[in-house]
């Protein structure tokens, strides 16, 4: 049974996180940021950090914590927004995003005290790290922690993703969960035009994973899927919209990485009001 | 406890560097619970069959997937384990260069990457399997320690030493089976500290890997035939480079570097980069593999072709030495 209060809590967090992602993008000025793919993963992040994962901000290295690996590193604005909700970061920290000497790089930089398990940015590498982490936890007899790896659907073009997917099944890593943020767009256009990986569900299934296909913007669906169990690794195909929540960004490839003008900021913020 | 007795030294030499590595791996499993092995379908080739049968839960064979191997090893390292990841040197350095760069370089994860058959020992398999660029590739990545043992005894020592430092390491294994023996007795091996094997005031030969043995032989030729005294320095750690050893070498009239690796980017380059900062220095001769892929051939054939036999090393040194003004 899904706790409705928890759904509400996650929804409220998603809303604040979307606002923060927009503010962070605006704050960096003309260099812009990877806002489109961050907005598609907002609900995934809010549900993981506020409804699913175990962690302790006072003891970030706690052995029994769940591990989160952002393989699609360019979406990190959404993770920073979630880390703020979780208490690892402050509003002031968020404003340092992409500034010189910040800890908040445009791609995550390993910082366990800040809740970032690994650096990423070079696509296709996070799932192998997840497999290694999952094997390590089994080796340590840590049966309570889970490992969540977030991939982009464009990222699934990388062959190394499938090397890792095969090994996760081979080692029956039931403590490993992949979430694919399937927003159907990549840098150069629609995934089906650049390199079609459909049917993505079938691919993960054929690699031996338990596959759940859900609405990646539904906190309720995400809570259900992320709390499900299996004796094989789980792949959650989260069907999302790139740029979700800002009308002029939605499903528009121009917002993979872009800057926000003052007028666009006003409009985007207005759209966040109920 | 590993015993550095004559029978073991002979055994390791017979096994070659991979077998010696496997021997050391077994020792490590007995003494350090955190040591694990990861391989990409080269368990047997890495000398790890005995390890696999004795410690089946400590070895992960990820199949022919080197990129995944480095990522998996990195995940294990981040959780406190000390994984050794083994594959051919060329795949370790070139095939998964980005994984090595991001995980071992940028994240500084405690992975020990083992490059098997570096140099020319699998020369008959052709340029896809020889590895003449691995040092150049990995040396350009920050944070990674590069070890290049001179013989199989040093391979054992370097493997154990690598497990004891909290740093990413590239362990470059080279040479054929029946690997020539440089060290006939136990000695002190310290990462980052070169070892002067013979003293000589005229020329300093700084060598690494298999070329340490050939350089010792070349020094003998220079002494016996031409009365030229050359020191031979075993630079088993290519990064960080032992700068003191290079400083000392500057007191001779010629510095020669010798390596079974491309002349571009390896030991010769590392020494040359350091020398470029100095004002009082002798000339340097870089001996190594020319910048080309030669026809496939046996190890001995290719060493001959590339001019790295003791005789050819001595000849080339002599030619250079005669032409320098003193």
The answer to whether the CB atoms of B102 and A119 lie below 8 A apart is yes
Q: Alpha-carbon distance B290 to B305, whole Å? A: 10
Q: For residues B25 and B163, state if they share a domain.
A: yes
Q: For residues B213 and B148, state if they share a domain.
A: no
- What pLDDT, in 10s, does the model give residues B246-295? 999 999 999 999 999 999 999 999 999 999 999 999 999 999 999 999 99
Give yes or no for a contact between B21 and B169, defined as CB atoms under 8 angstroms apart.
no
Burial of A240 (0-12, 13-18, 19+ CB in 10 A): buried
- What does DSSP assign to residue B131? B
B83 neighbourhood in chain A, CB within 8 Å = 132
Q: For residues B142 and B269, state if they share a domain.
A: no
Going by C-alpha positions, the residue among B216, B176, B207 that lies closest to residue B302 is B176
Tell me if B88 is assigned to some domain.
yes
The last residue of a domain, from among B174, B206, B237? B174
Structural domains in chain A (count): 1
- What pLDDT, in 10s, does the model give residues B40-84? 999 999 999 999 999 999 999 999 999 999 999 999 999 999 999
| pLDDT cut 90: percent of chain B above it | 99
Q: Alpha-carbon distance A208 to A230, whole Å? A: 12
Locus of tokens 């299934």: A205
A138 neighbourhood in chain B, CB within 8 Å = none
- pLDDT at position A137, please? 98
Going by C-alpha positions, the residue among A266, A261, A165 that lies closest to residue A209 is A165
* SS3 call for B56: helix
Question: Which of B71, B73, B78, B103 to mutate: most A Cβ within 10 Å?
Answer: B71
Tell me if B26 is assigned to some domain.
yes
B143 neighbourhood in chain A, CB within 8 Å = none
Token representation of residue B213? 């043995």
- pLDDT at position A193, please? 97
- In terms of residue numbers, what domain contains B238? 195-322
Tell me if B181 is assigned to some domain.
no
Q: Alpha-carbon distance B262 to B290, whole Å? A: 6
Mean pLDDT of A59-72: 98
Tell me if B40 is assigned to some domain.
yes
| pLDDT cut 70: percent of chain B above it | 100
CATH of the domain at B153: 3.40.50.970
Q: For residues B217 and B134, state if they share a domain.
A: no
Within 94-133 of A, beta carbons closer than 8 Å to B belong to 110, 117-122, 124-125, 127-133
Task: Give yes or no for B56 touching A (CB within 8 A).
Answer: no
Q: Indicate if the pLDDT at residue A274 is higher than 90.
A: no
Establish how many alpha carbons lie within 13 A of residue A10's alpha carbon, considering only the half-sphere containing its beta carbon.
26
Task: Give yes or no for A250 touching B (CB within 8 A).
Answer: no
Binned at pLDDT 50, 70 and 90, residue B326 comes out as low
The answer to whether the CB atoms of B81 and A130 lie below 8 A apart is no
CATH of the domain at B236: 3.40.50.920
Mean pLDDT of chain B: 97
Tell me if B298 is assigned to some domain.
yes
Q: Which residues of A7-29 are buried (b: 16+ CB within 10 A; e: fewer)?
A: bebbbebbbebbbbbbbbbbbbe
Neighbours of A205 (CB within 10 A): 13
- pLDDT at position B1, please? 85
- In terms of residue numbers, what domain contains A198? 4-270
B62 neighbourhood in chain A, CB within 8 Å = 163, 167
A108 neighbourhood in chain B, CB within 8 Å = none
Mean pLDDT of chain A: 97
Q: Alpha-carbon distance B257 to B207, whole Å? A: 6
Locus of tokens 């990064």: B239
Token representation of residue A77? 């604005």
Q: Alpha-carbon distance A232 to B207, whole Å? A: 51
- What pLDDT, in 10s, does the model give residues A100-109? 999 999 999 9
Q: For residues B309 and B244, state if they share a domain.
A: yes
Full-model pTM? 0.97
Nearest CA in chain B to A161: B68
* SS3 call for A149: strand
Q: For residues B34 and B146, state if they share a domain.
A: yes
Q: For residues B114 and B248, state if they share a domain.
A: no
Q: For residues B31 and B159, state if they share a domain.
A: yes
Mean pLDDT of A245-264: 96
Q: For residues B148 and B34, state if they share a domain.
A: yes
Residue in B65, B72, B107 closest to A119 by CB: B107
Structural domains in chain B (count): 2
- pLDDT at position A2, please? 85
Mean pLDDT of B129-135: 97
The answer to whether the CB atoms of A128 and B71 lie below 8 A apart is yes
The answer to whether the CB atoms of A132 and B75 lie below 8 A apart is yes
CATH of the domain at A163: 3.40.50.970
Give yes or no for a contact between B109 and B77, defined as CB atoms under 8 angstroms apart.
yes
- pLDDT at position A1, please? 76
In the beta sheet, which residues pair with residue B196?
B233
- What pLDDT, in 10s, does the model give residues B240-259? 999 999 999 999 999 999 99
Q: For residues B166 and B212, state if they share a domain.
A: no
- What does DSSP assign to residue A104? -
ipTM: 0.97
Tell me if B179 is assigned to some domain.
no
Q: Which residues of B262-280 are buried (b: 16+ CB within 10 A; e: fewer)?
A: bbbbbbbbbbeebbeeeee
The answer to whether the CB atoms of A137 and B103 lie below 8 A apart is no
- What pLDDT, in 10s, does the model give residues A151-183? 999 999 999 999 999 999 999 999 999 999 999
The kind and range of the H/E element at B195 are strand B195-201
Strands A234-239 and A185-186: unpaired
Q: For residues B164 and B199, state if they share a domain.
A: no
Q: Torsion over CA of A238, A242, A245 and A250, rounded to 10 degrees?
A: -140
Token representation of residue A268? 């985007």
Q: For residues B139 and B24, state if they share a domain.
A: yes
- pLDDT at position B37, please? 98
In the beta sheet, which residues pair with residue A179?
A150, A236
């Amino acid at each position: 049974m899904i706790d409705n209060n928890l759904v509400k809590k996650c929804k409220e967090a998603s809303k604040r996180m979307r606002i923060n992602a927009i503010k962070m993008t605006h704050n960096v000025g003309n260099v812009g940021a990877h806002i489109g793919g961050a907005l598609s993963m907002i609900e995934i992040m809010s549900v993981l950090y506020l409804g699913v994962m175990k962690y302790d901000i006072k003891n970030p290295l706690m052995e029994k914590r769940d591990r989160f690996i952002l393989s699609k590193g360019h979406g990190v604005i959404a993770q920073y927004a979630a880390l703020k909700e979780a208490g690892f970061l402050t509003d002031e920290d968020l404003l340092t995003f992409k500034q010189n000497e910040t800890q908040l790089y445009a791609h995550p930089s390993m910082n366990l005290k800040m809740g970032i398990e690994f650096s990423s940015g070079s696509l296709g590498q996070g799932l192998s790290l997840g497999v290694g982490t999952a094997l390590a936890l089994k080796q340590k007899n840590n049966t309570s922690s889970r490992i969540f790896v977030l991939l982009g659907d464009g990222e699934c073009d990388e062959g190394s993703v499938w090397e890792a997917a095969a090994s996760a099944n081979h080692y029956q890593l039931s403590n490993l969960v992949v979430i694919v943020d399937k927003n159907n767009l990549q840098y150069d256009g629609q995934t089906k035009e650049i390199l079609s990986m459909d049917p993505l569900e079938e691919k993960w299934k054929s690699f031996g994973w338990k596959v759940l296909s859900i609405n990646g913007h539904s906190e309720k669906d995400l809570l259900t899927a992320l709390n499900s169990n299996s004796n094989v690794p789980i792949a959650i195909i989260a069907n999302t919209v790139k740029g979700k929540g800002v009308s002029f960004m939605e499903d528009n490839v121009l917002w993979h990485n872009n800057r926000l003008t003052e007028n666009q900021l006003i409009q985007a913020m207005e759209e966040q009001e109920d | 406890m590993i015993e550095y007795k004559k029978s073991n030294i002979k055994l390791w030499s017979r096994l070659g560097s991979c077998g010696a590595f496997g021997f050391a791996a077994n020792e490590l499993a007995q003494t350090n619970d955190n040591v694990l092995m990861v391989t990409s379908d080269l368990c047997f080739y890495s000398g790890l069959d005995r390890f696999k049968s004795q410690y089946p839960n400590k070895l992960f064979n990820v199949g022919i997937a080197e990129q995944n191997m480095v990522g998996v090893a990195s995940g294990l390292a981040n959780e406190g384990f000390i994984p050794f990841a083994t594959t051919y040197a060329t795949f370790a350095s070139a095939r998964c260069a980005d994984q090595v760069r991001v995980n071992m370089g940028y994240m500084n994860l405690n992975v020990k990457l083992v490059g098997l058959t570096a140099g020319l020992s699998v020369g008959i398999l052709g340029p896809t399997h020889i590895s003449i660029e691995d040092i150049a590739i990995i040396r350009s990545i920050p944070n990674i320690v590069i070890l290049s043992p001179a013989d199989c005894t040093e391979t054992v020592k370097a493997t154990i030493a690598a497990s004891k430092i909290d740093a990413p390491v590239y362990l470059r294994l080279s040479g054929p089976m029946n690997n020539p023996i440089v060290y006939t007795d136990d000695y002190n091996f310290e990462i980052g500290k070169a070892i002067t094997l013979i003293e000589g005031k005229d020329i300093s030969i700084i060598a690494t890997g298999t070329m340490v043995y050939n350089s010792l032989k070349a020094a003998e030729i220079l002494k016996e035939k031409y009365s030229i005294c050359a020191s031979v320095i075993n630079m088993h750690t290519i990064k960080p480079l032992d700068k003191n050893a290079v400083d000392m070498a500057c007191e001779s009239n010629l510095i020669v570097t010798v390596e079974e690796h491309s002349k571009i980017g390896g030991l010769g380059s590392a020494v040359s980069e350091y020398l470029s900062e100095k004002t009082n220095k002798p000339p340097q001769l870089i001996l190594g593999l020319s910048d080309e892929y030669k026809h496939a051939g046996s190890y001995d054939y290719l060493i001959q072709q590339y001019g790295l036999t003791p005789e050819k090393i001595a000849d080339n040194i002599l030619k250079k030495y005669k032409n320098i003004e003193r």
